[in-house]
């Protein structure tokens, strides 16, 4: 695997969560189509993908918070991250932009997601 998907990297976790957030949005939009327009009309898609999207949305905001602190994002970048979590599929656009501009480069010794989880397990 490439270094951009190193599991120990906070940026890699952010990438994974951002992509999962976009996939859950698509699932929720399809579920809403079948709830309000499609045939047969059913609420199953909204119930399943609504819960999944809610959980992934929270994970995206937490991951953005952790990576943003480690990478020292500006207020503008924080605002764009929050907007990307709300607008459908904008998390992928935000992810591509942060990758291209180097805003996900938090360095080898940064306090990323994996390190935050490791420090929490050491205190027990």
What integer is the mean pLDDT of 1-25? 78
- Tell me the average pLDDT of the chain: 82
pLDDT (tens digit, 9 = 90+) per residue, 68-79?
A: 999 999 999 999
Output the pTM of the full model. Answer: 0.76
Q: How far apart are CA 108 and CA 4, in angstroms?
A: 12
Per-residue confidence at 107, pLDDT binned at 50, 70, 90? low
């Amino acid at each position: 695997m490439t270094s951009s998907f190193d599991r120990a990297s906070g940026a890699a976790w952010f990438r994974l969560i951002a992509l999962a957030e976009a996939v859950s949005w698509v699932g929720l939009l399809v579920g809403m189509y079948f709830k309000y327009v499609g045939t047969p009309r059913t609420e199953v898609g909204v119930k399943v993908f609504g819960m999944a999207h809610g959980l992934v949305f929270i994970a995206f905001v937490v991951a953005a918070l952790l990576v943003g602190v480690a990478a020292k994002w500006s207020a503008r970048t924080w605002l764009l991250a929050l907007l990307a979590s709300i607008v459908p599929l904008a998390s992928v656009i935000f992810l591509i932009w942060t990758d291209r501009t180097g805003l996900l480069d938090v360095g080898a010794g940064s306090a990323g997601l994996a390190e935050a989880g490791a420090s929490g397990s050491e205190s027990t």
